Structure 1
Amino acid sequence: MTTNTNPTAQTVVFQKEVLQTGLFELRPIDPETDLELVHQWVNLDYAVYWGMTGFSLEEVKTAYQNILKHSKVYMGLFNSETAFLLECYNPSEDLIGNYYTVDKGDKGMHILVAPAKTPIKNFTWNVFTVIMDFLFSHADVKRIVVEPDVRNDKIHLLNQKAGFEYQKIIELPHKTAHLAFCTQEHYHNALQKS
């Protein structure tokens, strides 16, 4: 995790205090200052499912110029240190919209958690719930859509723990993926069980 001291990038759009863990925050990505760190993250071995392994810094910058045309991207902070990345997108404007009937209120997401200096119990699960709470805090978001790589067992466990219902396997040009959905009701029901 790395601290970002750029004051122009510090507009916090969401906060959540997790008891006995700490403060989580989301702020919009600053392409001028954050992409060097993102470049480091996407080139880590465990980030293979992000699809940018081997990308140069310039390739990551170009990729995010394109992503930001149709998505919102946020840097996640934990106790003021940059700790995760969130991409939110409208499925009707994304490739995934060709693989199912997009409903009004659908929101897609991608999550990447930074390597921890010191492991914290349930940290990734806490990040996941912060993101779900943030997305569902928007009245227009009725259902969250994900399309994780079928080989990404760790994210499948988190998705299912959060109440995502897996629908089918789809063949995207760059991966074989599961298509899954989660409503706010399914999410809240899942939280009561966890």
Structure 2
Amino acid sequence: MSTATDLGTFTFRPLDPLKDAELLHTWVTHPKAAFWMMQDARLEDVERAYMEVAADEHHHALLGLLDGEPAFLMEHYDPAHRELVGLYEPQPGDVGMHFLTPATDAPVHGFTKAVITAVMAHLFEDPRTARVVVEPDVTNKAVHALNAAVGFVPEREIQKPEKEALLSFCTREQFEKAVSA
């Protein structure tokens, strides 16, 4: 499925860990991607990390395209099996999500909000998805604002091995209300 916006049309394709590794490496190691926690990753590290994701039935990586060109990274996972195991009580229909927009010297106003909106619409295309779960770093104020703009409601701070995170949820209804406002 695709999402048409004023910026163009967003589509998704499975990430190819080998073919896309070079591009991803430039994205995840950029200083503006500090919250992705791969600043010192080598190309081989990125390949390995995404080969592991590709082999994991509970974790998936997609490349987001804008008018057919790579524009962002999206990951979704089953929080009952990855990332949040033991940190909250997952409900049927919960889907965990991460997204990354690459740094640019020519930012486009509204791009990141359009990306998160397309990501959420993509996740809710699956009728089994009842709620999206995120756990961004508590200090990542920019992503908290984006999350709120698409309907996420913070529940509480949690301690993950790699960070203090803000556990937040967004139901299908919250998303639809937020984007129709």
TM band (smaller chain) = over 0.9
Distance 1:192 1:139 in 2: 19
Distance 2:67 2:14 in 1: 17
Distance 1:178 1:25 in 2: 28
Residue of structure 2 in register with 1:30 after alignment: 16
> Relative to structure 1, is the Cα distance of residues 94 and 148 closer, same or farther in structure 2, using a 3 angstrom cutoff?
same
Q: Deviations over 1:131-183 (max 9, x none)?
A: 01000000110000000001111100000111111000001110000000000
Residue of structure 1 in register with 2:93 after alignment: 105
Distance 1:137 1:112 in 2: 20
- Mapping of 1:73-152 within 5 angstroms? 73-116=61-104, 118-152=106-140
Corresponding residue to 1:179 among 164, 167, 172: 167
Residue of structure 2 in register with 1:45 after alignment: 31
The alpha-carbon deviation at position 119 of structure 1 amounts to: 2.4
Residue 71 of structure 2 is aligned to residue 66 of structure 1: no
Q: Aligned pair count? A: 179
Q: Deviations over 1:102-124 (max 9, x none)?
A: 11100000000123463222011
Could you tell me whether the CA contact under 8 Å between 2:138 and 2:165 is conserved in 1? yes
Residue 134 of structure 2 is aligned to residue 169 of structure 1: no
Unaligned runs of 5+ in 1: 1-13
Residue of structure 1 in register with 2:4 after alignment: 17
The alpha-carbon deviation at position 80 of structure 1 amounts to: 1.7
SS for the counterpart of 1:119 is coil
> Relative to structure 1, is the Cα distance of residues 161 and 56 closer, same or farther in structure 2, using a 3 angstrom cutoff?
same
In the superposition, the TM-score normalised over structure 1's length comes to 0.89
Residue of structure 2 in register with 1:9 after alignment: none
SS for the counterpart of 1:151 is coil
Unaligned runs of 5+ in 2: none
RMSD: 1.2
Distance 2:177 2:50 in 1: 35
In the superposition, the TM-score normalised over structure 2's length comes to 0.95
